[in-house]
Amino acid sequence: MDSIGVLMPVPMSPYLEQELEKRFNLLKLWTVPQKTQFLKDHSGSIRAVVGNAGNGADAELIETLPKLEIVASFSVGIDKVDLNKCREKGIRVTNTPDVLTDDVADLAIGLALAVLRRICESDRYLRSGQWKKGDYKLTTKFTGKTVGIIGLGRIGKAVAKRAEAFSCPIAYYSRTAKPEPKYKYYPSVVELASNCDVLVVACPLTEETRHIVNREVIDALGPKGVLINIGRGPHVDEAELVSALVEGRLGGAGLDVYEKEPEVPEQLFGLENVVLLPHVGSGTVETRNVMADLVVENLEAHFLKKPLLTPVV
């Protein structure tokens, strides 16, 4: 299979690159200055694209690669892959579900604790020498808070399980009610936000879920509520989120994703009730290596004409 061209648009994981180079002809698009010409020169040999949450395969790239057979995403989210174009051309698509569920759910709880207990701000307080001048102010308890979850899929359920360990009542919104008698279902996000203390965004990004957290939802969550986004940046109307935080209409936020990554609204930088992370939900060595293995195994399965492990299309 070492003659099969596999295109990687951006750097993702040294381990993934290493494993791909052992098996395929890996073409690293970010290393060449004339990208358009490079794609034209190699269009006859590129049969696979390896994408991620930020860079997938849009219609333009797919049209540029007439021999493309499969897009293997080094992520769960595939909103950067034009699925309709892939279906039209018979191109297979895979992602890496399940293997990153624990890390992302862990981070959601970590963000909730960090915002409510002001962990990052307390750290800065100590490092700047202010503790010598007086104790840090009192913060807010997490245990027992009602946690609302938008999207009760793999990650949503994992967040719920962890929150239950903190004696948190669980409520959720999804397109339909789930067979989860322990959890309270709300048929709208506004109703969910009105009835929880911490709102966690954990649904896939689709046209229907874009800006699912808007001004109405933020106002329903209110000045004591906390928003945690470990889904995708465009789930939240970022301009409305910023104004709500600046104006005190929202109690706090823990964000791992943003609308226009890696751009982050600078108005958030000075707010002590906001914790900002650079999209590191699945960012552990252990999980990224397992994700890489799954990408490689899907590619091998495709080119050996075996069933795909995690097919999307």
- How far is residue 9's CA from residue 64's CA, in Å, rounded to a whole number? 14
- Which of 92, 232, 235, 288 is an active site residue? 232
**Per the structure block, which two tokens stand in for 80?**
């950067």
User: What's the CA gap between 62 and 209, in Å, rounded?
Assistant: 25
Question: Among this protein's residues, is 232 annotated catalytic?
Answer: yes
Is 88 labeled as catalytic in the residue annotation?
Answer: no
CB atoms inside a 10 Å sphere around CB 187: 12
Cβ(228)–Cβ(198) under 8 Å? yes
Q: Classify the C-alpha dihedral 145-151-156-160 as positive or negative.
A: positive
Instruction: Please spell the DSSP secondary structure of 155-205, one letter per residue.
Output: HHHHHHHHHHTTT--EEEE-SS--S-TTSEE-SSHHHHHHT-SEEEE-SPP
Q: Is the Cβ–Cβ distance between 31 and 9 less than 8 Å?
A: no
- Give all strands of the β-sheet with 25-28 in edge-to-edge order: 25-28, 5-8, 46-51, 70-73, 92-94
What order do you get walking across the sheet with 170-173 strand by strand? 184-185, 170-173, 147-150, 198-201, 226-229, 252-255, 274-276
Q: Known catalytic residue: 235?
A: no
Contacts of 188 (CB under 8 A, 6+ apart): 173
Active site residues: 232, 261, 279
